[in-house]
C-alpha cells in the first residue's frame, strides 16, 4: 500500500519584495498576537508561580498529550538538555515527578503531583479568559472562520516542512 504524501502547496503571490511592509505581513501579525497573548497568559498565571516555559509542559502532561520526557521535549520543541533543566525546576516546585520505566530503563515517565494537578487545573481558565478577551467583537462565525484559515496556514507550513 502506497503512502500518501501531501504535496507542497503552490505559493501565493500576495507579497512583493519591492513593496514589502512588515506590519502588513501575516507572519508578523501572528507573531505580535502570540507575543501579546503569551505575556497576558504569563501575567494571569503569575499568582500560580508558573512561567510560560512551565505552564505549557505542565498542561500537556495534564491533558495526556505526553507522558515521558522524550515525548514532552518533542511536543514542546525543546532539546533533551533544556527539557531536563525545565523539569528540574518544575520538580523543585513540587509539580512533577520523574519515574524510571521498569520495562525500559532509558525511558523516564512523568507524573503530575497533586500540586501539579491543582496548578494545571487553573491553566484552561486563564487560557479561555485571555483568548476570549482578545476575540472581543468577533461573532461565533468569524471565530470559526479565523480558526479555519489558521488551520489552512498551519497545514501549508506542515507540508512545506515535511518537504525539507
pLDDT in tens, 8-55: 778 899 999 999 999 999 999 999 999 999 999 999 999 888 988 999
Going from N- to C-terminal start, the domains of the chain cover 26-163
**Between 18 and 3, residue with greater pLDDT:** 18
| 3 — pLDDT class (breaks 50, 70, 90) | low
For residue 6, the model assigns a pLDDT of: 63
**Between 103 and 135, residue with greater pLDDT:** 135
8-state DSSP, 98: E
Q: Is the CATH code 1.10.3210.10 the one for domain 26-163?
A: no
pLDDT in tens, 86-122: 999 999 999 999 988 888 888 888 999 999 999 999 9
| Cα separations in angstroms, 139 against 41, 134, 135, 145, 160 | 23, 12, 9, 10, 32
Amino acid at each position: 500500500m502506497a503512502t500518501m504524501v501531501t504535496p507542497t502547496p503552490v505559493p501565493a503571490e500576495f507579497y512583493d519584495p519591492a513593496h514589502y511592509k512588515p506590519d502588513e505581513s501575516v507572519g508578523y501579525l501572528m507573531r505580535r498576537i502570540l507575543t501579546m497573548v503569551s505575556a497576558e497568559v504569563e501575567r494571569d498565571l503569575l499568582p500560580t508561580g508558573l512561567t510560560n516555559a512551565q505552564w505549557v509542559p505542565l498542561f500537556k502532561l495534564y491533558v495526556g498529550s505526553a507522558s515521558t520526557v522524550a515525548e514532552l521535549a518533542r511536543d514542546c520543541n525543546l532539546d533533551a538538555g533544556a527539557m531536563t533543566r525545565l523539569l528540574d525546576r518544575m520538580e523543585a516546585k513540587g509539580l512533577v515527578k520523574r519515574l524510571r520505566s521498569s520495562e525500559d530503563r532509558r525511558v523516564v515517565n512523568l507524573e503530575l503531583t497533586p500540586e501539579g494537578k491543582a496548578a494545571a487545573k487553573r491553566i484552561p481558565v486563564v487560557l479561555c479568559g485571555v483568548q476570549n478577551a482578545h476575540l472581543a467583537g468577533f461573532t461565533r462565525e468569524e471565530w470559526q472562520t479565523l480558526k479555519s484559515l489558521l488551520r489552512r496556514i498551519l497545514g501549508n507550513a506542515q507540508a512545506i516542512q515535511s518537504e525539507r
